[in-house]
Amino acid sequence: MKRHDFIATLQQRTGIAAVGPSALRGQGKGVLRATQTFLGQMDLSGVSTSSPRRYRKWLDGQTKRLLEKLPVNGSPWGTARKALNLFMRDTLYNRYLNRRFGINAIEPWLEVPLDSAVARGLKRHAGRGSLPQWPGLKKLKAGVSDEFQDFAQEHARAQGIERVHLDIYLWVENR
């Protein structure tokens, strides 16, 4: 086995491990497998490490591409975005993928993977009425996600960590 095969196989494994059945529970038949397949084959060499704006553009593009692969109606933007954010977080945490694709460079730009537990924790830390009502993963859209991500960025800075790592704390606190 060659190193390229190792990296490709490791990416496939990371896609499966990062987005397991509990992460996408109730999102529709076939969504989990389609998502895991997409993540395992996604071209990570295209990740933009040049600016937060370019990374966001790349992430938005990947969200759109994943949505096109999902075998469900209704374009569940929140489902696709959560899966991508879980995968990118685990790519950051994997030393081989991190090194190969330079993920350390974008650590400050990675989003916290949003779900009901993380949203509940963010709302508690933000205070009553500071964040919008959580619409659920299937109904989450970019604008509401941005409000949660913006608060998560502020809250993470106050904790001395990057936003992506809040998932670890908030998930444990609110499961």
Q: Which sequence spans correspond to the domains of the chain?
A: 3-109, 116-174
* Residue positions counted in the chain: 175
Q: How far apart are CA 64 and CA 58, in angstroms?
A: 10
Give 147 or 28, the one with higher predicted confidence: 147
* Strand ranges (E), 89-147: none
Question: pLDDT tens for residues 89-110?
Answer: 999 999 999 999 999 999 999 9
3-state secondary structure 62-82: HHHHHHHHCCCCCCCHHHHHH
Which pLDDT does position 110 carry in this prediction? 98
Average pLDDT over residues 123-146: 95
pTM of the model: 0.93
